[in-house]
Structure 1
Amino acid sequence: MTAIEQTEARPRGTRLPRRARRNQLLGAAQEVFVAQGYHAAAMDDIAERAGVSKPVLYQHFPGKLDLYLALLDQHCESLLQAVRTALASTTDNGQRVAATMDAYFAYVEDEGGAFRLVFESDLTNEPAVRDRVDKVSLDCAKAVSGVIAEDTDIPSDQAMLLAVGLCGMAQITARYWLGAGQKLPRDAAAKLVSALSWRGIAGFPMHSASGGGG
Protein backbone atom coordinates (compact mmCIF):
# COMPACT_ATOMS: atom_id res chain seq x y z
CA MET A 1 0.00 0.00 0.00
CA THR A 2 1.37 3.42 -0.94
CA ALA A 3 1.62 6.48 1.29
CA ILE A 4 -1.21 7.98 -0.77
CA GLU A 5 -3.47 5.02 -0.01
CA GLN A 6 -2.50 4.92 3.65
CA THR A 7 -3.41 8.53 4.36
CA GLU A 8 -6.92 9.87 3.96
CA ALA A 9 -7.37 13.04 1.95
CA ARG A 10 -7.62 16.19 4.04
CA PRO A 11 -11.00 17.88 4.30
CA ARG A 12 -11.44 20.92 2.11
CA GLY A 13 -12.44 24.38 3.19
CA THR A 14 -10.35 24.80 6.31
CA ARG A 15 -8.64 28.18 6.46
CA LEU A 16 -5.09 28.06 7.82
CA PRO A 17 -2.40 30.67 8.46
CA ARG A 18 -0.05 30.95 5.49
CA ARG A 19 2.85 29.12 7.13
CA ALA A 20 0.59 26.29 8.33
CA ARG A 21 -0.95 26.01 4.88
CA ARG A 22 2.48 25.88 3.26
CA ASN A 23 3.57 23.11 5.63
CA GLN A 24 0.37 21.22 4.90
CA LEU A 25 0.99 21.48 1.16
CA LEU A 26 4.58 20.34 1.56
CA GLY A 27 3.44 17.33 3.57
CA ALA A 28 0.91 16.38 0.93
CA ALA A 29 3.44 16.89 -1.84
CA GLN A 30 5.95 14.67 -0.06
CA GLU A 31 3.44 11.84 0.09
CA VAL A 32 2.69 12.15 -3.62
CA PHE A 33 6.30 12.55 -4.79
CA VAL A 34 7.56 9.67 -2.65
CA ALA A 35 4.77 7.37 -3.83
CA GLN A 36 4.71 8.33 -7.52
CA GLY A 37 7.99 10.04 -8.33
CA TYR A 38 8.27 13.53 -9.75
CA HIS A 39 7.29 12.79 -13.32
CA ALA A 40 4.17 10.78 -12.53
CA ALA A 41 2.95 13.18 -9.85
CA ALA A 42 0.40 15.83 -10.81
CA MET A 43 -0.51 19.06 -9.10
CA ASP A 44 -4.11 17.78 -9.11
CA ASP A 45 -2.99 14.82 -6.99
CA ILE A 46 -1.19 17.10 -4.55
CA ALA A 47 -4.13 19.49 -4.22
CA GLU A 48 -6.48 16.59 -3.65
CA ARG A 49 -4.15 15.06 -1.06
CA ALA A 50 -3.96 18.42 0.77
CA GLY A 51 -7.70 18.99 0.51
CA VAL A 52 -7.35 22.31 -1.31
CA SER A 53 -8.19 23.66 -4.73
CA LYS A 54 -5.49 23.97 -7.38
CA PRO A 55 -5.64 27.80 -7.25
CA VAL A 56 -4.78 27.64 -3.52
CA LEU A 57 -1.86 25.34 -4.28
CA TYR A 58 -0.60 27.67 -7.00
CA GLN A 59 -0.84 30.65 -4.66
CA HIS A 60 1.93 29.07 -2.59
CA PHE A 61 3.92 27.29 -5.31
CA PRO A 62 3.90 28.56 -8.92
CA GLY A 63 4.63 25.10 -10.34
CA LYS A 64 5.45 21.50 -9.59
CA LEU A 65 9.21 22.08 -9.76
CA ASP A 66 8.98 24.94 -7.24
CA LEU A 67 7.14 22.63 -4.87
CA TYR A 68 9.66 19.83 -5.35
CA LEU A 69 12.61 22.15 -4.78
CA ALA A 70 11.05 23.54 -1.60
CA LEU A 71 10.73 19.99 -0.28
CA LEU A 72 14.26 19.16 -1.36
CA ASP A 73 15.65 22.22 0.44
CA GLN A 74 13.79 21.23 3.59
CA HIS A 75 15.05 17.66 3.64
CA CYS A 76 18.61 18.45 2.60
CA GLU A 77 18.80 20.87 5.52
CA SER A 78 17.38 18.20 7.81
CA LEU A 79 20.13 15.76 6.86
CA LEU A 80 22.88 18.35 7.25
CA GLN A 81 21.62 19.35 10.68
CA ALA A 82 21.44 15.71 11.75
CA VAL A 83 25.08 15.20 10.78
CA ARG A 84 26.20 18.39 12.51
CA THR A 85 24.28 17.44 15.65
CA ALA A 86 25.90 13.99 15.64
CA LEU A 87 29.39 15.48 15.34
CA ALA A 88 28.72 17.96 18.14
CA SER A 89 27.20 15.36 20.45
CA THR A 90 30.54 14.19 21.88
CA THR A 91 34.29 14.84 21.79
CA ASP A 92 35.06 11.12 21.61
CA ASN A 93 35.83 10.43 17.97
CA GLY A 94 34.75 6.80 18.06
CA GLN A 95 31.38 7.91 19.35
CA ARG A 96 31.27 10.69 16.76
CA VAL A 97 31.61 8.13 13.97
CA ALA A 98 28.88 6.00 15.54
CA ALA A 99 26.56 9.00 15.97
CA THR A 100 27.13 10.13 12.40
CA MET A 101 26.40 6.68 10.98
CA ASP A 102 23.25 6.48 13.07
CA ALA A 103 22.18 9.90 11.80
CA TYR A 104 22.19 8.56 8.24
CA PHE A 105 20.37 5.37 9.21
CA ALA A 106 17.74 7.36 11.10
CA TYR A 107 17.31 9.72 8.15
CA VAL A 108 16.77 6.82 5.75
CA GLU A 109 14.43 5.02 8.16
CA ASP A 110 12.10 8.00 8.55
CA GLU A 111 8.65 6.77 7.63
CA GLY A 112 7.96 9.74 5.39
CA GLY A 113 10.50 8.47 2.86
CA ALA A 114 12.04 11.92 2.45
CA PHE A 115 15.46 10.41 1.71
CA ARG A 116 14.09 9.20 -1.62
CA LEU A 117 13.69 12.81 -2.75
CA VAL A 118 17.35 13.45 -1.93
CA PHE A 119 19.11 10.21 -2.88
CA GLU A 120 16.71 8.47 -5.27
CA SER A 121 15.10 11.31 -7.19
CA ASP A 122 13.87 10.68 -10.73
CA LEU A 123 14.69 14.31 -11.49
CA THR A 124 18.47 14.29 -11.19
CA ASN A 125 18.79 15.53 -14.77
CA GLU A 126 17.31 18.85 -13.58
CA PRO A 127 20.26 21.13 -12.71
CA ALA A 128 18.53 22.73 -9.72
CA VAL A 129 17.90 19.29 -8.21
CA ARG A 130 21.37 17.95 -8.98
CA ASP A 131 22.96 21.07 -7.47
CA ARG A 132 21.04 20.64 -4.21
CA VAL A 133 21.82 16.93 -3.90
CA ASP A 134 25.50 17.52 -4.64
CA LYS A 135 25.61 20.42 -2.20
CA VAL A 136 24.15 18.54 0.76
CA SER A 137 26.52 15.63 0.14
CA LEU A 138 29.44 18.05 0.01
CA ASP A 139 28.30 20.02 3.06
CA CYS A 140 27.95 16.85 5.14
CA ALA A 141 31.42 15.75 4.06
CA LYS A 142 32.82 19.20 4.90
CA ALA A 143 31.40 18.94 8.41
CA VAL A 144 33.05 15.55 8.89
CA SER A 145 36.32 16.62 7.29
CA GLY A 146 36.53 19.56 9.67
CA VAL A 147 36.62 17.19 12.62
CA ILE A 148 39.17 14.93 10.92
CA ALA A 149 41.44 17.87 10.11
CA GLU A 150 41.15 19.31 13.61
CA ASP A 151 42.16 16.09 15.33
CA THR A 152 44.83 14.70 12.98
CA ASP A 153 47.82 15.84 10.97
CA ILE A 154 46.05 14.95 7.71
CA PRO A 155 46.08 17.78 5.13
CA SER A 156 42.67 19.31 4.49
CA ASP A 157 42.30 17.90 0.97
CA GLN A 158 42.99 14.39 2.24
CA ALA A 159 40.64 14.89 5.19
CA MET A 160 37.92 15.88 2.73
CA LEU A 161 38.49 12.76 0.64
CA LEU A 162 38.21 10.58 3.74
CA ALA A 163 35.05 12.42 4.79
CA VAL A 164 33.44 11.90 1.39
CA GLY A 165 34.21 8.20 1.74
CA LEU A 166 32.71 8.00 5.24
CA CYS A 167 29.54 9.86 4.27
CA GLY A 168 29.17 7.83 1.09
CA MET A 169 29.50 4.61 3.07
CA ALA A 170 26.88 5.80 5.55
CA GLN A 171 24.40 6.78 2.87
CA ILE A 172 24.76 3.72 0.65
CA THR A 173 24.76 1.16 3.45
CA ALA A 174 21.74 2.79 5.13
CA ARG A 175 19.78 2.67 1.87
CA TYR A 176 20.81 -0.94 1.28
CA TRP A 177 19.77 -1.86 4.83
CA LEU A 178 16.33 -0.34 4.31
CA GLY A 179 15.85 -1.88 0.87
CA ALA A 180 16.94 -5.31 2.11
CA GLY A 181 14.15 -5.32 4.66
CA GLN A 182 15.86 -4.03 7.82
CA LYS A 183 16.96 -7.53 8.82
CA LEU A 184 19.08 -6.01 11.57
CA PRO A 185 17.67 -3.46 14.04
CA ARG A 186 18.75 0.06 13.14
CA ASP A 187 21.11 0.49 16.06
CA ALA A 188 22.82 -2.82 15.32
CA ALA A 189 23.18 -1.99 11.62
CA ALA A 190 24.56 1.47 12.33
CA LYS A 191 27.02 0.09 14.91
CA LEU A 192 28.26 -2.53 12.45
CA VAL A 193 29.02 0.07 9.79
CA SER A 194 30.48 2.52 12.32
CA ALA A 195 32.83 -0.21 13.59
CA LEU A 196 34.14 -0.69 10.06
CA SER A 197 34.50 3.06 9.59
CA TRP A 198 36.20 3.66 12.94
CA ARG A 199 38.73 0.88 12.43
CA GLY A 200 39.81 2.68 9.28
CA ILE A 201 39.84 6.29 10.43
CA ALA A 202 41.36 5.44 13.82
CA GLY A 203 44.52 4.34 12.05
CA PHE A 204 45.48 7.91 11.26
CA PRO A 205 47.69 9.55 13.92
CA MET A 206 46.06 12.07 16.21
CA HIS A 207 47.50 15.42 17.21
CA SER A 208 49.42 14.92 20.44
CA ALA A 209 47.13 17.47 22.15
CA SER A 210 43.94 15.94 20.81
CA GLY A 211 41.59 14.27 23.23
CA GLY A 212 39.76 12.13 20.66
CA GLY A 213 39.22 8.66 22.03
CA GLY A 214 38.24 5.28 20.81
Structure 2
Amino acid sequence: MSVDERRDQILDAVRDLVDAEGFHAVAMDRIAQACGITRTLIYQQFGNLPGLLLAMVDREFGRAAAAFQRAERRPPAPGQSRFAAGVAGVLEAVDADPATWRMLLMPSQGGPPELYERLEQARSLTRAHMNEALLAADPALSSLTNPDRALAIAMLHTMSQELVRLRLRDPAAYTAERLLAQAEWMNKAMFGRKPGTPAP
Protein backbone atom coordinates (compact mmCIF):
# COMPACT_ATOMS: atom_id res chain seq x y z
CA MET A 1 0.00 0.00 0.00
CA SER A 2 1.38 3.41 -0.99
CA VAL A 3 1.80 6.24 1.49
CA ASP A 4 -1.21 8.07 0.03
CA GLU A 5 -3.34 4.94 0.10
CA ARG A 6 -2.38 4.27 3.71
CA ARG A 7 -3.18 7.86 4.62
CA ASP A 8 -6.62 7.57 3.06
CA GLN A 9 -7.20 4.27 4.83
CA ILE A 10 -6.41 5.88 8.18
CA LEU A 11 -8.58 8.94 7.50
CA ASP A 12 -11.43 6.71 6.31
CA ALA A 13 -11.26 4.83 9.60
CA VAL A 14 -11.35 8.09 11.55
CA ARG A 15 -14.30 9.41 9.55
CA ASP A 16 -16.26 6.17 9.93
CA LEU A 17 -15.67 6.10 13.68
CA VAL A 18 -16.72 9.74 14.05
CA ASP A 19 -19.84 9.00 12.02
CA ALA A 20 -20.75 5.98 14.12
CA GLU A 21 -19.78 7.11 17.62
CA GLY A 22 -18.67 10.75 17.57
CA PHE A 23 -15.34 12.54 17.87
CA HIS A 24 -14.88 11.49 21.48
CA ALA A 25 -14.59 7.84 20.39
CA VAL A 26 -11.49 8.39 18.26
CA ALA A 27 -8.32 7.00 19.84
CA MET A 28 -5.02 6.03 18.29
CA ASP A 29 -5.40 2.42 19.47
CA ARG A 30 -8.80 2.03 17.85
CA ILE A 31 -7.69 3.52 14.54
CA ALA A 32 -4.54 1.40 14.48
CA GLN A 33 -6.59 -1.73 15.15
CA ALA A 34 -9.14 -0.86 12.47
CA CYS A 35 -6.36 -0.39 9.91
CA GLY A 36 -4.23 -3.32 11.01
CA ILE A 37 -1.22 -1.10 11.69
CA THR A 38 0.76 0.17 14.66
CA ARG A 39 0.13 3.46 16.44
CA THR A 40 3.68 4.49 15.52
CA LEU A 41 2.74 4.68 11.86
CA ILE A 42 -0.18 6.99 12.66
CA TYR A 43 2.02 9.22 14.81
CA GLN A 44 4.57 9.40 12.01
CA GLN A 45 1.97 10.62 9.54
CA PHE A 46 -0.17 12.89 11.71
CA GLY A 47 1.89 13.78 14.80
CA ASN A 48 -0.83 13.41 17.42
CA LEU A 49 -4.56 12.90 17.84
CA PRO A 50 -5.53 16.55 17.18
CA GLY A 51 -3.41 16.45 14.03
CA LEU A 52 -5.16 13.27 12.92
CA LEU A 53 -8.62 14.75 13.49
CA LEU A 54 -7.71 17.97 11.70
CA ALA A 55 -6.36 16.06 8.70
CA MET A 56 -9.62 14.16 8.45
CA VAL A 57 -11.69 17.33 8.76
CA ASP A 58 -9.63 19.07 6.09
CA ARG A 59 -10.00 16.17 3.68
CA GLU A 60 -13.74 15.85 4.15
CA PHE A 61 -14.25 19.59 3.95
CA GLY A 62 -12.29 19.67 0.69
CA ARG A 63 -14.38 16.86 -0.76
CA ALA A 64 -17.63 18.55 0.22
CA ALA A 65 -16.44 21.89 -1.18
CA ALA A 66 -15.60 20.26 -4.51
CA ALA A 67 -19.01 18.58 -4.60
CA PHE A 68 -20.71 21.91 -3.85
CA GLN A 69 -18.83 23.60 -6.68
CA ARG A 70 -19.96 20.88 -9.08
CA ALA A 71 -23.53 21.28 -7.83
CA GLU A 72 -23.59 25.03 -8.36
CA ARG A 73 -22.46 24.54 -11.98
CA ARG A 74 -25.11 21.90 -12.63
CA PRO A 75 -27.36 23.00 -15.52
CA PRO A 76 -31.06 23.11 -14.63
CA ALA A 77 -33.37 20.56 -16.16
CA PRO A 78 -36.20 21.92 -18.33
CA GLY A 79 -38.51 23.94 -16.09
CA GLN A 80 -36.15 23.69 -13.11
CA SER A 81 -34.76 26.71 -11.28
CA ARG A 82 -31.03 27.15 -10.85
CA PHE A 83 -31.53 26.91 -7.09
CA ALA A 84 -33.28 23.54 -7.33
CA ALA A 85 -30.62 22.32 -9.76
CA GLY A 86 -27.97 23.17 -7.18
CA VAL A 87 -29.92 21.41 -4.44
CA ALA A 88 -30.22 18.35 -6.70
CA GLY A 89 -26.46 18.29 -7.13
CA VAL A 90 -25.87 18.57 -3.40
CA LEU A 91 -28.37 15.78 -2.68
CA GLU A 92 -26.52 13.52 -5.11
CA ALA A 93 -23.26 14.29 -3.29
CA VAL A 94 -24.94 13.59 0.05
CA ASP A 95 -26.22 10.22 -1.14
CA ALA A 96 -22.76 9.32 -2.44
CA ASP A 97 -20.95 10.22 0.79
CA PRO A 98 -23.39 10.60 3.70
CA ALA A 99 -20.76 10.26 6.44
CA THR A 100 -18.95 13.36 5.22
CA TRP A 101 -22.10 15.46 5.06
CA ARG A 102 -23.35 14.25 8.44
CA MET A 103 -20.10 15.43 10.00
CA LEU A 104 -20.39 18.83 8.34
CA LEU A 105 -24.10 19.49 8.78
CA MET A 106 -24.80 17.50 11.94
CA PRO A 107 -21.45 17.64 13.77
CA SER A 108 -21.06 15.88 17.08
CA GLN A 109 -19.48 17.48 20.10
CA GLY A 110 -15.76 17.23 20.65
CA GLY A 111 -14.54 18.04 17.17
CA PRO A 112 -11.43 20.13 16.61
CA PRO A 113 -12.05 23.90 16.78
CA GLU A 114 -11.03 24.18 13.14
CA LEU A 115 -14.09 22.16 12.13
CA TYR A 116 -16.50 24.76 13.45
CA GLU A 117 -14.41 27.59 12.00
CA ARG A 118 -14.53 25.97 8.57
CA LEU A 119 -18.27 25.41 8.83
CA GLU A 120 -18.85 29.10 9.52
CA GLN A 121 -16.61 30.03 6.59
CA ALA A 122 -18.60 27.67 4.36
CA ARG A 123 -21.90 29.23 5.44
CA SER A 124 -20.61 32.71 4.61
CA LEU A 125 -19.34 31.60 1.21
CA THR A 126 -22.62 29.88 0.39
CA ARG A 127 -24.66 32.96 1.24
CA ALA A 128 -22.29 35.09 -0.84
CA HIS A 129 -22.72 32.71 -3.77
CA MET A 130 -26.51 32.92 -3.51
CA ASN A 131 -26.30 36.70 -3.56
CA GLU A 132 -24.00 36.69 -6.59
CA ALA A 133 -26.31 34.32 -8.46
CA LEU A 134 -29.28 36.56 -7.75
CA LEU A 135 -27.43 39.67 -8.89
CA ALA A 136 -26.30 37.91 -12.06
CA ALA A 137 -29.90 37.02 -12.86
CA ASP A 138 -31.22 40.53 -12.17
CA PRO A 139 -28.50 43.17 -11.51
CA ALA A 140 -31.01 45.91 -10.71
CA LEU A 141 -33.11 43.59 -8.52
CA SER A 142 -36.07 45.53 -9.84
CA SER A 143 -38.11 42.55 -10.96
CA LEU A 144 -38.35 40.73 -7.62
CA THR A 145 -41.34 40.98 -5.33
CA ASN A 146 -39.27 40.31 -2.19
CA PRO A 147 -38.16 43.63 -0.67
CA ASP A 148 -35.45 42.17 1.61
CA ARG A 149 -32.93 40.24 -0.45
CA ALA A 150 -30.39 39.76 2.37
CA LEU A 151 -32.93 38.29 4.76
CA ALA A 152 -34.41 36.09 2.04
CA ILE A 153 -30.98 34.70 1.20
CA ALA A 154 -30.29 33.94 4.87
CA MET A 155 -33.64 32.16 5.18
CA LEU A 156 -33.17 30.22 1.96
CA HIS A 157 -29.71 29.10 3.03
CA THR A 158 -30.98 27.89 6.41
CA MET A 159 -33.85 26.00 4.83
CA SER A 160 -31.54 24.49 2.21
CA GLN A 161 -29.36 23.05 4.96
CA GLU A 162 -32.43 21.60 6.64
CA LEU A 163 -33.47 19.87 3.41
CA VAL A 164 -30.11 18.12 3.36
CA ARG A 165 -30.36 17.19 7.05
CA LEU A 166 -33.77 15.63 6.44
CA ARG A 167 -32.27 13.56 3.64
CA LEU A 168 -29.48 12.40 5.93
CA ARG A 169 -31.84 11.53 8.80
CA ASP A 170 -34.47 9.62 6.82
CA PRO A 171 -33.80 9.16 3.10
CA ALA A 172 -36.78 6.84 2.70
CA ALA A 173 -39.24 9.47 3.94
CA TYR A 174 -37.48 12.46 2.41
CA THR A 175 -36.89 11.40 -1.15
CA ALA A 176 -34.91 13.58 -3.52
CA GLU A 177 -38.08 14.26 -5.52
CA ARG A 178 -39.95 15.44 -2.44
CA LEU A 179 -37.11 17.69 -1.32
CA LEU A 180 -36.61 19.17 -4.79
CA ALA A 181 -40.30 20.00 -5.05
CA GLN A 182 -40.00 21.87 -1.76
CA ALA A 183 -36.85 23.62 -2.99
CA GLU A 184 -38.72 24.90 -6.03
CA TRP A 185 -41.57 26.14 -3.87
CA MET A 186 -39.18 27.95 -1.52
CA ASN A 187 -37.33 29.55 -4.41
CA LYS A 188 -40.55 30.88 -5.92
CA ALA A 189 -41.82 32.10 -2.55
CA MET A 190 -38.57 33.88 -1.70
CA PHE A 191 -37.64 35.21 -5.11
CA GLY A 192 -40.85 35.43 -7.09
CA ARG A 193 -40.88 37.90 -9.94
CA LYS A 194 -43.32 40.76 -10.29
CA PRO A 195 -46.29 40.08 -12.58
CA GLY A 196 -45.46 40.83 -16.17
CA THR A 197 -41.69 40.67 -15.63
CA PRO A 198 -39.99 38.30 -18.06
CA ALA A 199 -37.70 35.64 -16.64
CA PRO A 200 -33.97 36.19 -17.25
Partner of 1:54: 39
Alpha-carbon distance, 1:126 to partner? 4.8
In the TM superposition, structure 1's runs of 4+ consecutive aligned residues that sit over 6 Å from their partners are: none
Residues 76 and 125 of structure 1: is their aligned pair in 2 closer, same or farther, counting only changes over 3 Å? closer
Of residues 64, 84, 87, the one that matches 2:49 is 64
> Contact between 1:101 and 1:193, CA under 8 Å: does it hold in 2?
no
Q: Percent identity?
A: 20
Residues 154 and 77 of structure 1: is their aligned pair in 2 closer, same or farther, counting only changes over 3 Å? farther
Of residues 161, 164, 170, the one that matches 1:171 is 161
Structure 2: gaps spanning 5 or more residues? 143-147
| TM-score computed with the length of structure 2 as normaliser | 0.79
Alpha-carbon distance, 1:53 to partner? 0.8
Query: Quick check: 52-61 or 82-91, which moved more?
Result: 82-91
Amino acid at match of 2:162: I
- Per-residue CA distance 1:104-150 (angstroms, 9 max, x = gap): 32343345511222122224675322101111222222222211122
SS in 2 for 1:114: helix
Partner of 2:86: 100
SS in 2 for 1:90: coil
Partner of 2:24: 39
Structure 1: gaps spanning 5 or more residues? 1-15
SS in 2 for 1:113: helix
Of residues 118, 135, 148, the one that matches 1:132 is 118
Amino acid at match of 2:135: A
Query: Quick check: 104-113 or 58-67, which moved more?
Result: 104-113
SS in 1 for 2:25: coil
Residues 26 and 161 of structure 1: is their aligned pair in 2 closer, same or farther, counting only changes over 3 Å? farther
Amino acid at match of 2:23: Y
Amino acid at match of 1:60: Q
Amino acid at match of 2:36: G
CA distance, structure 1, for counterparts of residue 151 and residue 64 of structure 2: 20
CA distance, structure 1, for counterparts of residue 111 and residue 11 of structure 2: 22
CA distance, structure 1, for counterparts of residue 127 and residue 67 of structure 2: 13
- Per-residue CA distance 1:47-105 (angstroms, 9 max, x = gap): 11122110001111122222222222222233333232222223789432112212332
- Per-residue CA distance 1:21-70 (angstroms, 9 max, x = gap): 21111111111111110012212111111221100011111222222222
Tell me how large the CA RMSD over aligned residues is.
2.8
CA distance, structure 2, for counterparts of residue 151 and residue 190 of structure 1: 24
Partner of 1:27: 12
